[in-house]
Amino acid sequence: MAPMHSRAGQVALPEDLIDTDAVLSAYVDRTPDLDDPAQQVVFGTSGHRGSSLDGAFNEAHIVAITQAIVEYRTAQGIDGPLYLGRDTHALSEPAQRTALEVLAAAGVEVRIDARDSYTPTPALSHSILRHNGAGSTEGVRTRGPGLADGIVVTPSHNPPRDGGFKYNPPHGGPAGSDATGQIARRANELLRSGIGAIARIPYERALQAENVHKHDYLLTYVDDLESVLDLDAIRTAGVRIGADPLGGAAVEYWAEIAERHSLDLTVVNPQVDPRWSFMTLDWDGKIRMDCSSPSAMASLVSMMRGEGGAAPYDIATGNDADADRHGIVTPDGGLMNPNHYLAVAIDYLFGHRPDWSDEAAVGKTLVSSALIDRVVAGADRRLLEVPVGFKHFVPGLLDGSVGFGGEESAGASFLRRDGSVWTTDKDGIVLALLAAEILAVTGRSPSQLHEEQVAEFGESWYARVDAAATRQEKATLAKLSAEDVTATELAGQPITASLVDAPGNGAAIGGLKVTTADAWFAARPSGTEDVYKIYAESFVSADHLEQVQSAAKDVVSAALGS
């Protein structure tokens, strides 16, 4: 990581804020230069993202992507409703309008928010799955007529200048690379041939079209929460919850959760501002709604310190702009490391969900902490280790064979209490409420339970750093074979495995993971910078972690032949 910015953790100043009018004007006025790869449609692990100011997220992109999705769903035989939602980023509302204009003209049955408001990603996934059978005795269908899918307009935790556009097929989770590859290729073809031929209906007319309907995402989601969480326990214990939506799509959801379920829950900051003027700057000086970042969460952490040592809440939580990530703050431990909370959540859930299958596995990404491996082994459960990308958890969450799926970047979801699917996309709201359930049922905070895990399984040191790499080196790294690793030891310990495919599902890592008895590293090329990312962890010491990071660069250099 680069050095910490001098104002990280401090409230944004006027000069840090975007010019919202300029961002919105560029969305309409700027035409992307398709000879520049950065201005083409590119779907990452969470959809297409970019800024209108850079020619990477403009009206032309959204027209083309939406039309490509229309054609994709037709080719796949998806003929049910398409659920359409947006978050609070400035570009999300105009992009949703553009998408609706194309969808309405194409005759797609569209479901938009009944309140003309914001829709968290998990609420959209939940509604898709409910339409397709989740919560019913028949279970979820992913084939056949009448299936629903969805689009959520969000760049997640990205800075205010950015926009994002994500497609969720009938399984309710993030689209896989086959789908996104087809959509992106077709969208770029449409951009090159000219989007003028794509049919659109003016927005006000589209709202009145026979194929456009209102849907109450909020109540559909909030009223169903008792199927996934023990809200009675939270209510009975009187757990005081402070929920900070960080200016995101969950703001109205938290208020409704408090009222409908009679919880002692306060929305810490109900303000919505597309400039995010109330945010504290992230580690690099940018405004970023990353609820796993101590710098971005500095205000909530400071509030939980309380005056005179008395914290105002028993549990405080944060969400990013589309509420697919969670941050957990406890009076005794501050902001929890996402890896630590995942390990606690896993241990608690698999001990307090008696109706889950004994065969239900624990899903983790291969860059998540090995503490999870040790906790899972201690619970005598199967570990499903997959590449980065929540899409890898979708099949297991859908059929109940995976009880919990989580990423080190503070995104996770888990099954309903009866062992059936809840969401197949990340759900920061239920992970936040789970922290209150854990406290209510165990009488201990998640941070206290983490200390107990450390006592049992050992303390670890975990970090991510970047190393310089050319475009060619990044391409080589993404296609390494296990035989390319010639090293036999890492930071003084014998190497136990060199992986280029994830052990949980055999999918390509797109990089390399090397393990020893007490340490590991994973190296993956960056999609946006001339670096590769090194994730590493040591159960020995902080000094040993630095040795692992240094040795990782040597191992990768040797494998690349450089």
Distance (Å, whole) CA 152 – CA 155:
9
Can you give 55-90 as a three-state secondary structure string? CCCCHHHHHHHHHHHHHHHHHCCCCCCEEEEECCCC
Residue 430 and residue 424: Cα distance in Å, rounded?
13
User: CA of 500: how far to CAs of 366, 460, 503, 507, in Å?
Assistant: 11, 24, 9, 9
Residue type, 378: G
CB 30, CB 55: distance < 8 Å: yes
Question: What is the DSSP secondary structure assignment for residue 538, as one 8-state letter?
Answer: E
E strand map for 408-447: 411-414
Beta-ladder partners of 413: 405
Say which of 46, 51, 156, 369 is annotated catalytic.
156
> Exposed, middle or buried: residue 448 (CB in 10 Å: 0-12, 13-18, 19+)?
middle
Is 156 one of the catalytic residues?
A: yes
Alpha-helical segments (H) within 209-319: 217-222, 231-237, 251-260, 298-305
User: In what helix (H) or strand (E) does residue 399 lie, and over which residues does it extend?
Assistant: helix 394-399
Beta bridge partners of 493: 490
Residue 7 burial class via C-beta count within 10 angstroms: exposed 0-12, middle 13-18, buried 19 and up = middle
The set of catalytic residues is 156
